[in-house]
Copies of this chain bind each other. A is one copy, B any other.
Amino acid sequence: MVITSLDNPKIKKYLKLKTKKYRDNFKLYLVETDNLIKEAINNNCLVDLLALDGSINKYDFNITYVSKEIIKKLSSLDTTSNFIGVVKMKEMNDNLGSRILILDDIQDPGNLGTIIRSSVAFNISDIILSNNSVDLYNDKVIRSSEGMIYKINIIRTDLIKVIKKLKENNYLILGTNVRDGVDVKEVNSSRFALIMGNEGNGVKEEILNLCDKNLYIKMNKNCESLNLGVATGILLYELGEK
């Protein structure tokens, strides 16, 4: 059977996933690239797989065939793929590990995806997003995470409250400040929360005030700062095993 009607209840529901409100309601989101579909299957979070009528099933997962019109309406890409996956959101887990990354109002979806990827690469246990950060399930975030979004605990909450709690639990709270701070090479900790700030404004003053130390990356004075994704990558890399 091939679904051809945009009024089909399942398709109507999936079309709603293009807006944040319904993604949050249904705890579902859409993915399109081959890599994201494969990784969703590997990570047991794919709940449905739609394919263009006539496509050969290259995945180890049952397919729902749909018309070209439906695929086009569901897709966010300029060149639509023949497959669209419906993925269930990971449950937030409040039981935090020992290597935490906190993002204070990050705005660029590509930066967030890239940082999720680096966090898995460098053994971060949990990512905490401030309430005003970009939507985690924005399609650009998901694409640039290259599927790593399935593999790490990510929570969204009020930062001040959570940082105070982490301090009580003996985490070393590390801020970042391009002007003054301690060279990251000099820091060695197995129980920390690193805080990275917004692309334009850095970490908010009231949050910096809660930090035990501010880190910086040694660089040429001709360059004022690095791209946020790159700076985060280097800090997480350095905070790994030495």
* Segment 113-162 of A: residues with Cβ below 8 Å from B: 114, 117-118, 120-123, 144, 146, 148, 151
CB of B114 within 8 A of CB of A219, answer no
A234 lies within 8 A of chain B by Cβ = yes
At the interface with chain B, which of A17-25, A59-67, A72-80, A225-233?
A: A225-233
A201 lies within 8 A of chain B by Cβ = no
Residues of chain B lying within 8 A (CB to CB) of residue A219: 121-122
A122 CB → nearest B CB, Å:
6
Residues of chain B lying within 8 A (CB to CB) of residue A14: none
* Segment 77-95 of A: residues with Cβ below 8 Å from B: none
CB of A223 within 8 A of CB of B120, answer yes
A9 CB → nearest B CB, Å:
36
Which of A122, A225, A230, A233 gathers the greatest number of chain B CB atoms within 10 Å?
A230
Report how far A226 CA is from B144 CA in the complex, Å: 10
Residues of chain B lying within 8 A (CB to CB) of residue A148: 222-223
A220 lies within 8 A of chain B by Cβ = yes
Contact of A223 among B117, B218, B237 (CB under 8 A): B117
A7 lies within 8 A of chain B by Cβ = no
Residues of chain B lying within 8 A (CB to CB) of residue A117: 223, 226-227, 230
A195 CB → nearest B CB, Å:
19
Q: Report A210-224 CB contacts with B as 1/0, cut-off 8 Å.
A: 000000011110111
A110 lies within 8 A of chain B by Cβ = yes
Report how far A100 CA is from B222 CA in the complex, Å: 17
Residues of chain B lying within 8 A (CB to CB) of residue A151: 222-223
Given contacts A110-B110, A227-B114, whether A121 and B233 have CB atoms under 8 Å apart is no
Residues of chain B lying within 8 A (CB to CB) of residue A229: 114, 227, 229-230
Given contacts A146-B224, A148-B223, whether A230 and B122 have CB atoms under 8 Å apart is no
Report how far A144 CA is from B110 CA in the complex, Å: 12
Q: Report A157-191 CB contacts with B as 1/0, cut-off 8 Å.
A: 00000000000000000000000000000000000
Q: Which residues of A contact B (CB under 8 A)?
A: 110, 114, 117-118, 120-123, 144, 146, 148, 151, 217-220, 222-227, 229-231, 233-234, 237, 240
Closest 10 CB pairs of A and B: A230-B233, A121-B219, A121-B223, A114-B227, A120-B223, A234-B237, A123-B220, A120-B222, A230-B230, A121-B220
